[in-house]
A and B are shown apart, each in its own frame.
Chain A
Amino acid sequence: MTDQLTEHESTDGASIASQPRLRDANWTFERIWRRARYPVITLINLSIFALLWEWGATIYDNANFIPTFSDMAGAFKIGWIGGGADSTNETFDLLQDFVIAKNFWVTIQVYGVGLIASILVGIPIGLVMGGSRWADAILSPYVWTFSSLPRIALFPILVLFLGLGNEIKYALVILTAIFPVIINTWAGVKTTEQSLINAARVFGASRRQIYQKVVLPYTLPFVVSGIQLALSRGLVGVVIAEFLTGASKDGGLGWLIFRAARGFNGALTYAALMSLAVLALVLVQGTRSMEAKIAPWRQVSKT
């Protein structure tokens, strides 16, 4: 590209005619850079992070607490795609082929079911509370009490009822995830602009139509933010539940992190932690773009 440019300049000299071409070339470079700069910066950023990690861990020199980045990456690879676990004693060495993938799947199942239940139950509750004063008066003391209470404090009682199986995990996910959905949905209904409702009334909308054509679309972006909160809260819920339930085998990512750390397997601990971070990141970014798609009018700023 640079060659072409100089060649072009040499034939045309410094004439005006060559200027648009020069600018054109500049533009393309700038455009490519503008598109690529964030991924590139992120890549550089992550590489520096990995290098610092490697270097710091080597100096710190305690692989149980902080493994080197490369050890972690090795455990990550074995845990996800297998082909490298050389241990023969399965009961004592957690780092088996696919161990992260297996536990990841366990976590995802509980988390997914709990989240879907929270959304399916939370939205109607929020809608009813927002739409009816009676429902609001009856339900809001419970909703506000439970949503303010540190949900984990309920664990000892829940154990009595649900035991230490999957049920208590679902319960904890739902208890952490449902309230942001309820409260945000409720807030959307409650704050629907009166002038929009008035407009619908003037043009003949029935109560039902006002609800369908004004209140619901107005509330939708609130619901999305509620779900977004539920995603991160629910993840906390499932991980804590997995910490506390302590299965004997494949108890989910939280269980794996807990066990690996207790067994001083630093590489696996960090590899599982990384997997959790990636999951959280993907979910949050996914819902962020979902929000922008569903309610473009509410986008305050673009990044």
Chain B
Amino acid sequence: MSTQPTVNSSRGDPLVVAENMTVGYELERERKLLTALTDINLTVHEGEFLVLVGPSGCGKTTFINAVAGLLQPWEGTITYDGQPIKGTSQDRSMVFQDYAVMPWRTVEQNVKMPFEFRDTGLSASQIEDQVKSMIGNVGLQGFENSFPHELSGGMRQRVGIARAMVTQPRLLLADEPFGALDAMTREVLQAQLETLVMDAGQTVVFITHSIDEAISLGDRVAVISHRPGTVREIIDVDIERPRLAEGEITRHPEYGALREHLWGLVKDEALGAKGAVV
């Protein structure tokens, strides 16, 4: 693919920079260290929509956990705005793969949570308004007072999305945020997210298993290799926006070739991952 972006030439300054980063988990029971990602070099630019794809277990979630500040790198560095990431920050918000909504809180209380622990400088009524409108944006109006166990899986996921976006974070980390949604809702939310990216210049790191979703949304798509994960290839998606408002991005002349290329890479890695198990 072309290395010089033609359409997204407005790519901003580096926001998140991972250099030779190796990170993993301590397996307490077995007293072993598990390397999830090794030697990662990846830059997220301001205003960019970066998509991560790769086989299950390759370390995508681990990467955004490191960006969020939930994990510290074992080797190498990861910086945000030039500063090493030491902990979590109001700038960086996250949609969790397993939703992670608090079961004892109503939809509204869950969405309001980000305002509870940090001072955003908003008044109580402003917060109220923002929460209300965010709940509306994800189509949960009328369910403000429902508890998560009274909702469907897709609705719970939308609570997680609303909670992550309600503070209008500078960087949105989204871990398969549309995974549990029906095709219709998914398309609506994809289009909304694209609008947000275009209007507000939102920076997004987005994980998906869907190649179509990766191409529809991403400015760049990073393919992570199987465990221990590393960046196999980064692909530019030079298709002008809006891609989703008009619909039928699949008819774009570049689409087919991109899809085929990505598919080849991902399949390769998935098969490689299987081989590694045997």
Q: Given A195, A296, A297, which contacts B96 in the complex, CB threshold below 8 Å?
A: A195
> A166 an interface residue at 8 Å Cβ cutoff?
no
Q: Cβ of B149 and Cβ of A202 under 8 Å apart?
A: no
Quick check: is B114 within 8 A (CB to CB) of the other chain?
yes
**B107: interface (CB < 8 Å):** no
With A209-B117, A296-B149, A297-B149 known to touch, is A202 a contact of B88 (CB < 8 Å)?
A: yes
A202 to B147, CA, bound (A): 21
Contact in complex: A199, B96 (CB < 8 Å): yes
* Interface status of B251 (Cβ within 8 A of chain A): no
Q: Decide yes or no whether A295 CB sits under 8 A from chain B.
A: yes
Q: Is the CB of B88 within 8 A of A204?
A: yes
Q: Is A25 an interface residue (CB 8 A)?
A: no
Q: Are the CB atoms of B104 and A202 closer together than 8 Å?
A: no
Main secondary structure of the interface of A (DSSP, over half): helix
In angstroms, Cα B103 to Cα A220, docked, is 12
Known contacts A195-B96, A198-B96, A201-B70: does B103 contact A297 (CB below 8 Å)?
Answer: yes
In the bound complex, do residue A297 and residue B148 qualify as a contact, i.e. CB atoms below 8 Å apart? Answer: yes
Chain B residue nearest to A298 in the complex (CB): B103
The smallest beta-carbon distance between B240 and chain A, in angstroms, is 33
Q: Are A195 and B100 interface neighbours, CB within 8 A?
A: yes
Q: Is the CB of A200 within 8 A of B117?
A: yes
A196 with B100: CB separation less than 8 A: yes
Which chain B residues lie closer than 8 Å to A204 at the CB level? 88, 90, 114, 117-118
B128 at interface, CB cutoff 8 A:
no
Among B96, B114, B117, the one with the most A-chain Cβ atoms within 10 Å of its Cβ is B117
Q: Which of A201, A202, A206, A217 contacts B102 (CB 8 A)?
A: A217
* B113 in complex: contacting residue of A193, A195, A203, A297, CB < 8 Å: A203
| A214 within 8 A of partner (CB) | yes
Classify chain A's interface size.
Answer: 20 to 34
Q: Is A236 an interface residue (CB 8 A)?
A: no
The CA of A193 and the CA of B118, in the complex, are separated in Å by: 22
- A203–B69 Cα distance when bound, in Å, is 11
Contact A295 to B104, CB < 8 A, known contacts A195-B98, A201-B70, A202-B88:
yes
Contacts of A164 in B (CB 8 A): none
Nearest residue in A to B119 (C-beta to C-beta)?
Answer: A204
Question: Would you give the 0/1 interface string for A136-170, flagging 1 where the beta carbon is closer than 8 Å to chain B?
Answer: 00000000000000000000000000000000000
- Counted as pairs of residues, one from A and one from B, with CB atoms less than 8 Å apart, the total is 60
Q: Is A273 an interface residue (CB 8 A)?
A: no
What are the interface flags for A181-213 relative to B under an 8 Å C-beta threshold, 1 for contact and 0 otherwise?
A: 000000000000101101111111110010001
Q: How far is the CB of B214 from chain A (nearest CB, A)?
A: 24
- Interface size range on B against A: 20 to 34
Q: Given A195-B100, A214-B102, answer yes or no on A201-B88 (Cβ-Cβ < 8 Å).
A: yes
- Determine how close the nearest CB of chain A comes to the CB of B191; give it in whole angstroms: 26
Q: State whether the Cβ of B215 lies closer than 8 Å to any Cβ in chain A.
A: no
What residues of chain A lie closer than 8 Å to B148, measured between beta carbons?
A: 297
- Asked if B68 lies at the interface with its beta carbon under 8 angstroms from chain A, I say yes
Which residues of chain B (31-52) have a CB below 8 Å from chain A? none
B118 touches A297 (CB 8 A): no
A209, A218, A295, A297 — most chain B CB neighbours (10 Å): A297
B94: interface (CB < 8 Å): yes
Residue of A nearest to B89 (CB): A204
> What is the CA–CA distance of A196 and B184 in the complex, to the nearest angstrom?
28
Indicate whether B157 reaches chain A with its CB closer than 8 angstroms.
no
Would you give the shortest CB distance from A218 to chain B, in whole angstroms?
A: 8
Q: Which residues on A sit within 8 Å (CB–CB) of B225? A: none
Q: For the complex formed, measure the closest distance between the CB of A194 and the CB atoms of chain B, giving whole angstroms.
A: 9
Q: Which residues of B contact A205 (CB under 8 A)?
A: 117
Q: Does B93 contact A (CB under 8 A)?
A: yes
Given that A198-B96, A214-B102 are known contacts, is A203 also in contact with B147, CB under 8 Å in the complex? no
Nearest opposing residue in chain B for A203, CB measure? B114
Neighbouring A residues of B102 by C-beta, 8 Å: 196, 199, 213-214, 217
List A residues at the B interface (Cβ < 8 Å): 193, 195-196, 198-206, 209, 213-214, 217-218, 220, 295-298
Known contacts A195-B96, A203-B88, A218-B104, then 8 further A-B pairs from the complex at CB < 8 Å, ordered by chain A residue: A195-B100, A198-B96, A199-B96, A199-B102, A200-B113, A204-B90, A296-B149, A297-B104
Task: List 20 A-B pairs, Cβ < 8 Å.
Answer: A193-B100, A195-B96, A195-B100, A196-B102, A198-B70, A198-B96, A199-B94, A201-B69, A202-B92, A202-B93, A202-B94, A203-B163, A204-B90, A205-B117, A214-B102, A217-B102, A217-B104, A296-B147, A296-B149, A297-B148
